[in-house]
């Protein structure tokens, strides 16, 4: 067999929803029952690094996550691979004598190696960074010409929240109306330079894998809860509008009120601090696990908050020393 290997490496940050996606109207295509808004973190802290490679020497598609080979047979991986392969275009590297046609891409097998620099499946949207990075790196490798929003619709089929990680800054996932999902895409509301004061603190209280997957959690709520229908129809649309306005105006009190209201748990520390100061200084929000994401109005408040957190919840072990990860919302400058 020919000896060449062609590879691409990409890095994608995770995103934290401030108005959450919760509930699907189509499980196969991953179409949500409401719009959502998130902040993409800078890649220095919580991100996935993925390398993808093809070679005529590879005999089947394989994937290693955090150093361990896992099965690629899951529907979500397969959907992503199929969608990307179907959009592959001709590639030529004259120097190395590599020529790959659209037809060749369908037969070439791919090897994928992916690392998260933060706890996987602990409710910190690891799948968002992971699937977005997979789609982005495969698209680069296979010379896919689609733009970010079209790629976001493919990432969405890997993990819903992943579609929002294709952009930096503040991002909205529009739920869309079409049954085929073509208009269920992510758009950027404001780029990473907007609202530069915000500081995001991730309090990793547990790196254990969460007990309930987002998928089964959502399925249970959609099947059993009347409230979730009310949330999707009446509550979220209004919140989305208000959140967009708060982001546009860098209005922290409204941003904090909306983010906290949309997250279903309470941190007394944050509430106490906000009460003490009179107006909100910090917002908290949780994804699907116990780990808190705190968004602070500015660096000074972040330092104060961190002091209190370290005092009240000191790291329990060496492994936890990294417990408080501070990030800007920015992506690569």
Applying CB under 6 A, the span of 16-24, 44-52, 64-72, 192-200 interacting with ligand PMV comes to 16-24
* Whole-number Å distance between alpha carbons of 99 and 267: 56
Residue 285 found at the interface with ligand PMV (CB under 6 A): no
Q: Which is nearer to ligand PMV, 40 or 159 (CB)?
A: 159
84, two tokens: 């990307």
Residue 288 found at the interface with ligand PMV (CB under 6 A): yes
Residue 40 found at the interface with ligand PMV (CB under 6 A): no
Residue 127 found at the interface with ligand PMV (CB under 6 A): yes
Q: Which of 308, 312, 285 is nearest to 37 (CA)?
A: 285
Residue 204 · residue 320 · CB < 8 Å: yes
Residue 214 found at the interface with ligand PMV (CB under 6 A): yes
Burial class (CB in 10 A: 0-12, 13-18, 19+), 9: middle
* Whole-number Å distance between alpha carbons of 31 and 25: 6
Applying CB under 6 A, the span of 125-133, 273-281, 298-306, 313-321 interacting with ligand PMV comes to 125-133
* Whole-number Å distance between alpha carbons of 258 and 256: 5
Q: Which of 32, 309, 63 is nearest to 152 (CA)?
A: 32
Residue 14 found at the interface with ligand PMV (CB under 6 A): no
Residue 203 found at the interface with ligand PMV (CB under 6 A): no
Residue 275 · residue 314 · CB < 8 Å: no
Least distance between ligand PMV and beta carbon 56 (Å): 35
Residue 48 found at the interface with ligand PMV (CB under 6 A): no
Residue 292 found at the interface with ligand PMV (CB under 6 A): no
Q: Which of 137, 129, 151, 175 is nearest to 331 (CA)?
A: 129
* Degrees to nearest 5, angle at CA 271 with 278 and 312: 120
Residue 77 found at the interface with ligand PMV (CB under 6 A): no
Q: 149-159 b/e with 16+ CB inside 10 Å = b?
A: bbbbbbbbbbb
Applying CB under 6 A, the span of 50-58, 153-161, 200-208, 297-305 interacting with ligand PMV comes to 153-161
Q: Which is nearer to ligand PMV, 83 or 287 (CB)?
A: 287
Least distance between ligand PMV and beta carbon 36 (Å): 5
Q: Which is nearer to ligand PMV, 233 or 272 (CB)?
A: 233
Between β-strands 110-116 and 31-32, what pairing exists: parallel, antiparallel or unpaired? unpaired
Q: Which is nearer to ligand PMV, 128 or 247 (CB)?
A: 128
Tell me the three state secondary structure of residue 3: coil
Residue 35 found at the interface with ligand PMV (CB under 6 A): no
Q: Which is nearer to ligand PMV, 198 or 259 (CB)?
A: 259
Residues lying near ligand PMV in the complex (CB under 6 A): 17, 20-21, 36, 125, 127-128, 159-161, 214-215, 287-288
């Amino acid at each position: 067999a020919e000896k060449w290997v062609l590879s691409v490496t990409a890095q994608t940050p995770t995103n934290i929803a401030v108005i959450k996606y919760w509930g699907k109207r189509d499980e196969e295509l991953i179409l949500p029952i409401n719009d959502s808004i998130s902040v993409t973190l800078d890649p220095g802290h919580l991100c996935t690094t993925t390398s993808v490679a093809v070679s005529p020497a590879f005999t089947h598609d394989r994937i290693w996550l955090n150093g361990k080979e896992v099965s690629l047979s899951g529907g979500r991986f397969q959907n992503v691979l199929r969608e990307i392969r179907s959009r592959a275009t001709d590639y030529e590297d004259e120097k190395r004598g590599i020529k790959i046609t659209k037809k060749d891409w369908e037969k070439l097998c791919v090897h994928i190696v992916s690392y998260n620099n933060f706890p996987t499946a602990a409710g910190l949207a690891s799948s968002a960074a992971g699937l977005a990075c997979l789609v982005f790196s495969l698209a680069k490798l296979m010379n896919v010409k689609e733009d970010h929003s079209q790629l976001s619709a493919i990432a969405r089929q890997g993990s819903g929240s992943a579609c929002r990680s294709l952009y930096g800054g503040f991002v909205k996932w529009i739920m869309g109306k079409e049954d085929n999902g073509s208009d269920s895409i992510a758009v950027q509301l404001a780029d990473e330079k907007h609202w530069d004061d915000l500081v995001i603190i991730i309090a990793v209280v547990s790196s254990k894998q969460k007990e309930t997957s987002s998928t089964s959690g959502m399925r249970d709520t959609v099947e059993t809860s009347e409230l979730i229908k009310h949330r999707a129809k009446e509550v979220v649309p209004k919140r989305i509008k208000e959140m967009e306005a708060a982001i546009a105006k860098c209005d922290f009190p409204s941003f904090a009120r909306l983010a906290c209201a949309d997250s279903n748990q309470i941190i007394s520390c944050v509430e106490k601090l906000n009460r003490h100061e009179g107006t909100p200084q910090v917002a908290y929000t949780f994804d699907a696990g116990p780990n808190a994401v705190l968004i602070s109005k500015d660096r000074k408040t972040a330092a104060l908050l961190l002091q209190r957190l370290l005092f009240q919840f000191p790291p329990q072990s060496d492994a936890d020393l990294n417990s408080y990860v501070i990030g800007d919302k920015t992506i690569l400058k």
